[in-house]
Amino acid sequence: MRPRTSKPVTLGILGLLFVLLGTFLGYYWPILFRRILTQELVLSPTSKSYNAWKNSSAIPITMEFYFFNWTNPNELKIPGKKPILVEVGPYSFVEKREKVNITFNPENSTVSYLQRRFWYFDEKNSKGSLKDNITQLNVVTVSAVHKVRYSSYIMRSSLSYLLSQSPEIHVVRTVDELLFTGYKDVLIDLGKLAGMTDETPPFDRFGWFYTRNGSTDFDGYQNMATGEDDVRNIGLFKFWNHKDTTKYYKSPCNAVEGSAGEFWPPFRTEEDITIFSADLCRPVTYEYERTVYHQGIEGYKYSVGKKTLSNDTKRRYPHEQAKYFEPTTTTEDFFTAEHSGEVIESVEDPDVVNIGQCYCNGECSPMGLINITACRYGAPGFVSLPHFHKADPILRDQVVGVNPDDEKHNFYIVLEPTTGIPIDVAARFQINILLQPSNFVS
């Protein structure tokens, strides 16, 4: 005879167990989830993200180059005539990144490394050939004139004589020469002979990406936090070229800070984020824009805006740093008209400093330009968003052929808020060279 079982009792016990289990998981699951996620995100030689970080071959990265072809260079000196620019491109390249000399430092939860970047021409996705001719400003000549403007009379007179023998302010070169192959210019060799010390570029040719393909020198020595001690620090730059400050700007704006760009802390908020750019030798702020959906995944969109592009951005520093800050209201004589940007001094709080002017080193520009002269061997270089997007209208008024479009020209990153993983990135910028009248070169 079978023993009787009480099904209601059994089901009641199971139900109670599920209730207790549900209550337990409901209370502890967020804690467990954070702990598991944190362990997965930390960078180490055994983490799932390590191989992809070390070698990006499996992750498609596209670099597209556009050029403004200058169609009327011979009309430069005609009063009232503006440069007419026609955008050509894209010249598309596949970019691959490789980390070398990797050293993990468990004593301070950081990793040190060098980075190589390789670019391979993607003819299929390009609109043009590397043999296309482009007319552009003679960057070498303009840079030479800018660099010697405060030099001795002999130096300025010598340069003036040399330029009188070849007075063209423009050059016509192929896309390949302008990018990676480079082209010879006698002024480069003469600059080395003149002994312009550390401001002389260590190149024998000029090209926007000359010697960069496969080099570890341009991105420099990098040291960033792995997040092992605190996941909130993952990806943060600690040292660049073995220092936590740069030589290009005065304190406190010379600090190496912000993310290296590949790892971001999880559990994002709508607060602004910062990335350290080796190309600009300074941090760049991304401002929270809005919540978006990329391929069905929710993300927070951050974009470059006024806090990076303006010269009147303020920031509070500890008093011991702020008291050494030297404010400046000097501006370059970019145009005869005054630009609309205003210098705003903080009189209420001496520890709030104008970092926008700190970065422009006394040669401040209209809204929308980032002065990188100090970072590029003294050449008068300025970075903006493409087509002077989000810039002072006076910049667009100087030329014909620029048409800013937020969809095409915004500089942004979208982070999945729980993991901090980038799900959409568009790093777009434009390189500009300042051309202005000279008192010693006609």
pLDDT of 308-354, one tens digit each? 888 765 554 444 333 333 443 334 455 444 444 443 344 455 545 55
Would you say residue 236 lies in a domain?
A: yes
Q: Specify the pLDDT at position 59.
A: 81
- Please compute, for residue 34, the number of CA atoms within 13 A of its CA located in the half-sphere on the CB side: 11
Rounded percentage of the chain residues whose pLDDT exceeds 90:
47
Of 24 and 191, more confident: 191
Would you say residue 207 lies in a domain?
A: yes
Would you say residue 190 lies in a domain?
A: yes
Would you say residue 5 lies in a domain?
A: no
Would you say residue 10 lies in a domain?
A: no
- Average pLDDT over the chain, rounded to an integer: 80
Q: Specify the pLDDT at position 45.
A: 92
Mean pLDDT computed over 40-53: 86
Would you say residue 296 lies in a domain?
A: yes
Mean pLDDT computed over 134-149: 83
Q: Specify the pLDDT at position 341.
A: 45
Q: Specify the pLDDT at position 338.
A: 47
Range with the poorest average pLDDT among 9-23, 255-269, 297-311, 416-430: 9-23
Mean pLDDT computed over 400-424: 94
Domain count, the chain: 1
Would you say residue 14 lies in a domain?
A: no
Mean pLDDT computed over 293-322: 75
Instruction: Express each pLDDT in 83-118 by its tens digit.
Output: 999 999 999 999 999 999 999 999 999 999 999 999
Does the pLDDT value for residue 24 go beyond 70? no
- pTM, rounded to two decimals: 0.82
Distance between CA 170 and CA 403 in Å, rounded? 23
The residue range of the domain holding 59 is 24-433
Q: Specify the pLDDT at position 331.
A: 41
Q: Specify the pLDDT at position 319.
A: 40
Would you say residue 439 lies in a domain?
A: no
